A and B are shown apart, each in its own frame.
Chain A
C-alpha cells in the first residue's frame, strides 16, 4: 500500500531535520519538542491522507445529534443529518472563525454561530446570514454575496462497524484499504455487534502525542512498568501472544496475549514486581472474568495511525483517542464499552475490570507519567535520539514474542514516509 500514500515531498522546516542513518531504530528527540514539526504534522498527517477517528456512531444515534471532537488540534463537528447520514466539518464559522458548536454533544435542527447568527444546516452548508440585506435598505452584504460559496469546511466521512472516521484529503485511499485486512478483522471482532458506551473520562498528560503513540505499541514495557499485570498474570510476555503489524505500511499494529497459555519465565523474578502476599487480592472479584471470544485472546491492544487505540483487558473493552494540545501536552479520552446483549453479571464484570485501565487504572496509571518522563528527560537533547533495537532492527510481525519494539519502529516508518522525513 505504500503507493496509496501521497509521497511526501521533503519536509520544509527552517532548520532541516536530520534523521539518523539507522532509520526507524532511532528517533530524534526534536520530533517531540519542535512546534514547527507539530505544524507540519497538521498539514501532512491530520489534514493529510489518513483516516482520523472522529467518534462512535452510537454517540449520534438520532437525526440532529452532534458531537464535537478534534482532528489534531483542529476542532471538528460530527452530525447526523436529517437524511440519517453522518457529516463532519470544521467547527469554525465561515465568517470570523468562531467556534460554531460550544457543547460537546447535543441535538440541533441547525448549527448557529452565536457571534453574528450565521446559520448552517447539519451538512455545514450556510443557510442564512443575519441582516444579509441590511436594514431599511442600508448595510448588508454586497450584492454578489453567494451563501453557497461559504460553508463550514467539510471532511469526508466513512463509518466502519460503528466507528466514524474522517479525512480532509482527496488522496486518502478508501477506509478499508487504509486500515488493511488485519485491522478490519479486529474491528469486526470487537465492534461488529451492537455496542454501547458504559463509561467515559479523559486525562491530560504532559507529553507529545507521538510518545503516547509509541507507548501503546510498546509491548516490551507493558509487563515491566505495569507490575499489576505481571503479578496477577493478566498480561505477560510468557503467555502465547504476538505483535502483528499492518502490511505494507506497518503504522497500525495489534498486540495480543492468551492468558490460559502462560508458561512462567524465570526472567520475571529479576524485574521489579508487585509484592502482594500469596493470598493475592483481598477483593478477588476485581478479576472475575467470563470467556468472551473463541480465539482465546484475553488481552489485546490495537493502535491505528495516527491516534486511535482500542483494547480488551480481560473483559474491559475501551477505546482511547489521544488528541494533541501543543507539543508537550495531550488529552487522552477513554471510552468504556459494553454490548447491548451483555447480561447484568457481564456488565458488572466489565465495570469492575474498568479499575484496571484509565487515569486511575491499576495497570495503566503509570502511563500518565511515563511519557512525561521522556518529554522531560529529552529536553535540551533535541539532536540526540531514542534507541529502538529490542527484538532486532526489523519491522514486521512478531508472532513468537512481544519482547520487541517492532510496532514502534513500524509507527516511525510510516511517520517518516508521510512527513517527508525519509532521509
Chain B
C-alpha cells in the first residue's frame, strides 16, 4: 500500500457539451482525502460537487460529459488510466457511493437481499450462502430490525430512512477504503437525517473508511467532517480544517454562506444576510473571480482581472481570494452596485 493520501485529485477538469457551448462543470479542481478521514464538499446547486464525485467513480455520462484533464490518484494509481474492467473492479469494492435519493436508488423489482448480495458475489467472489449471511450481518449493522426476514422484501416495503440504511449497507458491503456519500440525507426528514449521519459516523469509526460527504448543508459538514472543500462555479474557492473554516472563513463566498444560516449561539435579533444574485452560467465563464458579481468586497480592476488562485491563508487553510477578508472585515459601502 502506497503512502500518502488515499485519494488525490489533481487539476480535474470535467466538461459537458451542450447545444449552447461547453459547460466546465469541474474546473481545475485539486484536493486530497487521507485514509480514515472525512472530507466535506460544500457548494450550492451546480457548483460541481456531484460531478466531481461522479468523475471519481468515472460514471460521468459520456456523451455529453467528458473528463477533459487532470489525474485521479487512488492509492497512488491514476483511475483515469484504468480500463473499464479495472474500474469496475474498484467500483463498489474499494470505492463505493451512496446516492442522494434512496427512494429511486434501489431497483423496484429486485429484493433487497438480491441487491446487497450482488456486489458481494461480484467483488468478494462469495457463494450465495456466504453473501446472504454477510447481507444479514450488514443489515443488522446499519440497524434494520429482523434483517434475515427483511432480506426478501422489496424496496417499496421499506421507508425512506430504512432504504438509505440499505444503501449504506450496500455501500459498505465490500469494506471499501473510500465511501462517497452524495447528499445522503437531502431526501430525508431531519430526525432520520440525524440518525443516518450518526450511523455513517459510527461505521466510519468502526471500519476506518475514508468518507467524502457531498452536501449543501453546512450543518452536516460541521457535525461530520474533518476537513471541508468549498466549491463555487466548478472551482474550489476555499479549503481547510472544518473548525478553521467555520471560525475563520477567508473567502467572501464562505463568509456569505455562514452569514446566511441561523446559529443557536447568537443573539435573536441578528438578521440573516443572504448572498445576493444567482450563481453564474457555467458556459463561457470569463477569466475573472466567478463570485465577484455577487461579492460585497468586489474591487474593480482586481477581481475582474484574473481568476484568483488558491493561496495559503493559514495552516492547511487555503482560499481563492486576492484580499485578506475575514468575518470582521466591514462591508465597504461603495461595493453595493446601484
A is bound by B: no
Q: Which residues of A contact B (CB under 8 A)?
A: none
